[in-house]
Amino acid sequence: MDVSIFESSLTPSMHHLSVYSYYGAVPRRESKRGIRVEGPPLMPAKDGYVLPLFYGYRDWDSFVAFLDCPELLEPKFATSAERNKNPEEIERIVAPKLKTRSKHELFHGAQELGLPFGMSQSAADIVNCPQLKERGYFVEVNHPVAGRFISPGAPFKMSESPWQAVKPAPLLGEHNREVLCERLGYTESDLVQFREKGII
């Protein structure tokens, strides 16, 4: 069994991914103005947002060199505890550097150096993600009304029992006969009466 952490983490976002793949709409983030959330900040890059984990770096010198911010080598930033005391100052120094590079450049560059660094991706980024395309995460669905569009697949792969999208989402009342007659024992004439009375 092959389980992807990245694909599993997308499960709560399936609605947004489906909306983007069908409508081309990218949901907007809720504004959090005036609220400082504990933990690393989401900061603007040239083309989006990244999450530099200032406080967890063991190799602070490599992070400083990566962003070319020699002023962060001052003693007041030397330890994680000290950096926790000066988050606004670190953000002020780092912000202009982040805006000169793309989020993918920052994310992959930090990754090559073993530096923890996050990247915020929109639904459009996810649907067009090369990694997900390579793994075949998205599947094409052919719906009788909506037409063809891509949909998130399974966050796991099993070699001996592969998952596949068998049917698209049902139409309203599509399975009335199957459920009411074949499973619950109603007759065809019952279905006619149910329709006449507006029950189904």
- Quick: pLDDT tens for 34-48: 444 455 678 999 999
What pLDDT score was predicted for residue 104? 92
Q: Which residues of the chain have pLDDT under 70?
A: 11-40, 55-57, 165-166
What pLDDT score was predicted for residue 133? 87
3-state secondary structure of 151: strand
- Scored b (16 or more CB within 10 A) or e, 146-182 reads eeebbbbbbbebeeeeeeeeeeeeeeeeeeeeeebee
> Phi, psi (5° rounding) for residue 198?
75, 15
Residues 196, 200: Cα–Cα separation, whole Å:
8
| Residue recorded with tokens 């780092």 | 94
Residues 184, 153: Cα–Cα separation, whole Å:
31
| Extended strands (E) in the chain | 2-3, 43-44, 49-52, 117-120, 138-143, 147-152, 156-157
Of 110, 95, 101, 94, the C-alpha closest to 59 is: 110
What pLDDT score was predicted for residue 37? 46
| Residue recorded with tokens 């959090």 | 32
Q: Where are the domains of the chain?
A: 2-27+37-127, 170-200
| Residue recorded with tokens 């149910």 | 194
What pLDDT score was predicted for residue 121? 85
Of 172, 169, 53, the C-alpha closest to 115 is: 53
What are 52's two structure tokens? 């530099």
Orientation of helix 103-112 relative to helix 60-67, angle to 10°: 140
Amino acid at 150: I
What pLDDT score was predicted for residue 42? 84
What pLDDT score was predicted for residue 35? 43
What pLDDT score was predicted for residue 88? 87
Fold of domain 2-27+37-127: formyl-coa transferase, domain 3 (3.30.1540)
Q: Which sign does the torsion angle of CA 122, 125, 128, 131 carry?
A: negative
Q: Are strands 147-152 and 156-157 parallel, antiparallel or unpaired?
A: unpaired
What pLDDT score was predicted for residue 55? 64
